[in-house]
Every structure is written in C-alpha cells, then in structure tokens.
Amino acid sequence: MRKLGVWFLGVVFAVSMVSCDSNQVYDQYKSIPEAWSKDSLVEFEIKNLDSLQTYNLFFNVRNSSAYKYNNLFLISNMKFPNGKQVTDTLEYEMAYPNGKFMGAGAGEIKENKLWYKEKVRFLEEGTYTVTLEQAMRENGEVEGIQQLEGILEVGFRIEKTTHNTHKSGKNTVK
C-alpha cells in the first residue's frame, strides 16, 4: 500500500509541474530499451508551430548509475517540411570531475535538460522531424560504442521564449 501512495504522489507532482509550465509547447520522451544501439534513431515529429513565436529547444536525457561516462555525444538532425536538413554534433557533460552525475533527481536516476537551440522560429508550415542518435566511443577507439548502457529515456522539449524577437531573418531555423 505504501508503494501505491508514493507512486500516486509522484504522478500528482509530475502532472502539477507540467500544468504549471505555461511556456511548454512540446515535451515528449522515448524509452530506450536496455541499451541505446549505435544504429537506433530516436525521432520526434513537431507540427503546427506559430511562425511568429520564438522558441528554445532542449533535449532531455534520463540516465541511471549504469551510465559509465562523464559526457554524452549526440548527433541531431532536423528535417524541415520542405526537405532541407540541418545536422549537428553535440557534446554534453553528464558528470562532475569527481564522477557524481549532474542533473535533477534523487537516487540512481538523473534527468538533464540540455540546450539544443535558442530563440528559433519555425517559418515553414508543416511537420518538422528531429532525430537523435548516440555517437559515443571509447577513448582511442575509431568505432563507436555499439550498445550504450545507462540511458533510460531521451526527450525533446520546445518552450516559448519570454521575449519574442520579430526581426526578419534573425533567430530562425535555417
């Protein structure tokens, strides 16, 4: 019975956090079963964004103590409705120099909200697709890690910025 009470309080807390977040436009997570395969893409589809609004974009990563690295390399790809694509190689710190994991959360699971892009506008009408893949490799190795353990979930989040900039051609996703 106690476990049910703790679970219920967790759900109530999570729902209250989401409902109080008026800047959130999109927030979705994808589970990573057992290990994140080098060849596995995590995909998010985004539709119907206000072209006059500016947004901040984030990747959210939930990791367990089974994650044995201090950083995380990711390759992101954003595909526009017109077919254009923008690919970025990203590096994020996941642990302090002493080995303690960064991020929010108690116990062995931590959640990190990682900056992706800031103050962007989505000028094209239609569906944007964002994919993410892990690009980790051991020091001195050419081949990437085939099965990355310790990453439990990967999310993509879009938030409205508090101050819009409506300058033509500035702060747009190109």
Q: Is the pTM of this model over 0.75?
A: yes
Domains observed in the chain: 24-160 (2.60.120)
State the pLDDT at residue 164.
56
- 16-25, long-range: CB within 8 Å, 24+ apart, which pairs? 21/159, 23/159, 23/160, 23/161, 23/162, 24/157, 24/158, 24/159, 25/49, 25/55, 25/158, 25/159, 25/160
pLDDT values of the chain reduced to their tens digit, one per residue, 174 residues: 444 443 443 444 444 444 456 889 999 999 999 999 999 999 999 998 999 999 999 999 999 999 999 999 999 999 999 999 999 999 999 999 999 999 999 889 999 999 999 999 999 999 999 999 999 999 888 899 999 999 999 999 999 998 655 544 444 554
